[in-house]
């Protein structure tokens, strides 16, 4: 298996002032490769859904952690190489998938378990539930939403910087706390893309990763670079 080079944020030649413009240009220039991997990501997410629909067991949604998440992390590495002016190739995706498989799974596993628990809770009859139960469920949903927002930074960091599981959660938490507007902006972008896909056509889901992941990766690289520069000047 080919070894992978860690992404170096110092190689990132742009900053927050041209973040949106450069990301849009990047998506356009690398569209054929990004679109192909985007379709692979969607297919990796469809498998667990089909298993759940066939078996009727919500617990099978945990398969998403084994299929979709490693593919997502591998795509992040591929986009990261493109961001530092290294022409991305499908080999980057394939090798990164297996290299970071175990760590990306371990990072996402708590969120996957949390999601299954919430789905099981919602599958019950909540109309007759007490106010305390409903408040508790609302608190759980809020905690889950915060975890998902952090995951949008954590999953890319695994492959971009070759971090351990503990390092990934610590550093991603620091970035989310220090730059909450950017994290919420990424969440809003994903929500908007999902809303468009739901209201237009299921086929739109095939291009959602191609659009979202470059913004996610470049935001992670940009915020990491800003934090490192602030530490050096401070």
Q: Which residue has 């590495």 as its token pair?
A: 77
What mean pLDDT is reported for the chain? 87
Residue 59 has pLDDT above 80, yes or no: no
Angle at which helices 131-161 and 180-200 pack, to 10 degrees? 100
* Cβ atoms of 216 and 156 closer than 8 Å: yes
- Return the H-helix or E-strand segment holding 91: helix 90-99
| Rounded distance between C-alpha atoms, residue 92 and residue 141, angstroms | 35
| Exposure letters 132-163 (e unless 16+ CB within 10 A, then b) | eeeeebeeeeeeeeebebbbbbbbbbbbbbbb
Report domain extents, the chain. Answer: 13-227
| Higher per-residue pLDDT: 61 or 198 | 198
Burial of 37 from C-beta contacts in 10 A (0-12 / 13-18 / 19+): buried
Residues 6+ apart with CB under 8 A from 70: 97, 100, 101, 104, 105
Give CA separation, 157 vs 27, 50, 106, 202, 226, in Å: 20, 29, 13, 29, 15
First and final C-alpha spacing in the chain: 41
SS3 of residue 49 by DSSP: helix
Over residues 72-112, the pLDDT tens digits come to 999 999 999 998 888 878 888 999 999 999 999 999 999 98
Positive or negative CA dihedral for 210, 215, 220, 226? positive
* Cβ atoms of 157 and 220 closer than 8 Å: yes
Angle at which helices 63-83 and 101-122 pack, to 10 degrees? 130
Over residues 169-208, the pLDDT tens digits come to 999 999 999 999 999 999 999 999 999 999 998 889 999 9
Residue 159 has pLDDT above 80, yes or no: yes
């Amino acid at each position: 298996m080919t070894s992978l080079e860690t992404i170096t944020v110092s190689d990132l030649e742009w900053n927050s002032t041209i973040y949106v413009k450069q990301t849009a240009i990047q998506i356009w220039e690398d569209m054929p490769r990004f679109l192909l991997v985007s379709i692979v990501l969607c297919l990796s997410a469809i498998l667990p859904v089909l298993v759940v629909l066939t078996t009727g067991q919500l617990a099978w949604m945990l398969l998403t952690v084994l299929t979709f998440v490693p593919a997502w992390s591998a795509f992040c590495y591929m986009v990261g190489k493109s961001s530092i002016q290294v022409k991305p190739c499908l080999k980057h995706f394939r090798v990164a998938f297996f290299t970071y498989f175990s760590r990306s799974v371990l990072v996402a596993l708590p969120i996957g378990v949390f999601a299954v628990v919430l789905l099981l809770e919602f599958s019950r009859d909540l109309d007759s539930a007490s106010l305390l139960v409903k408040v508790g469920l609302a608190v759980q949903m809020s905690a889950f939403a915060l975890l998902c927002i952090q995951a949008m930074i954590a999953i890319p960091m695994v492959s971009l910087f070759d971090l351990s599981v503990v390092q990934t959660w610590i550093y991603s938490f620091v970035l989310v706390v220090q730059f909450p507007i950017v994290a919420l902006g990424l969440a809003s972008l994903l929500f908007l893309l999902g809303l468009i896909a739901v209201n237009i056509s299921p086929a739109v889901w095939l291009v959602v990763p191609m659009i979202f992941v470059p913004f996610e990766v470049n935001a992670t690289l940009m915020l990491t670079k800003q934090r490192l520069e602030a530490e050096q000047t401070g």
